């Protein structure tokens, strides 16, 4: 169990935990369950694709869920 940290939250009781492959379960950060960078489209910097119907698919993206997720997200939100 981690000490209180506003940059990290984990919900192991979630039926989807972990919702993305590629991040160690101990380090999996659920803080940005719904990525606030989705609206940036291609400028988000994550590993995404588009479905045939043009919907952004972030299933392969672990950017918000890894150790550097909080810093990366808040940094991108500060960009102009």
DSSP string, 19-77: -SSSS-GGG---TTSS-TTGGGGGGG-S--EE-TTS-EE-TT--GGGSTTHHHHHHHHH
pLDDT tier at 2, thresholds 50, 70, 90 = low
Residue 80's pLDDT is: 66
Q: Which domain holds residue 18?
A: 1-80
* pLDDT (tens digit per residue) in 12-67: 999 999 999 999 999 999 999 999 999 999 999 999 999 999 999 999 999 999 98
Give me the pLDDT at residue 5, please.
79
Instruction: Name the domain count of the chain.
Output: 1
């Amino acid at each position: 169990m981690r000490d209180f940290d506003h940059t990290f939250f984990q919900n192991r009781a979630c039926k989807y935990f972990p919702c993305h492959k590629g991040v160690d379960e101990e380090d999996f950060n659920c803080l940005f369950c719904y990525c606030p960078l989705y609206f940036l489209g291609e400028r988000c910097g994550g590993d995404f694709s588009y479905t045939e119907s043009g919907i952004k698919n972030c299933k392969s993206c672990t950017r918000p869920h890894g150790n550097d997720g909080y810093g990366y997200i808040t940094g991108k939100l500060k960009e102009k």
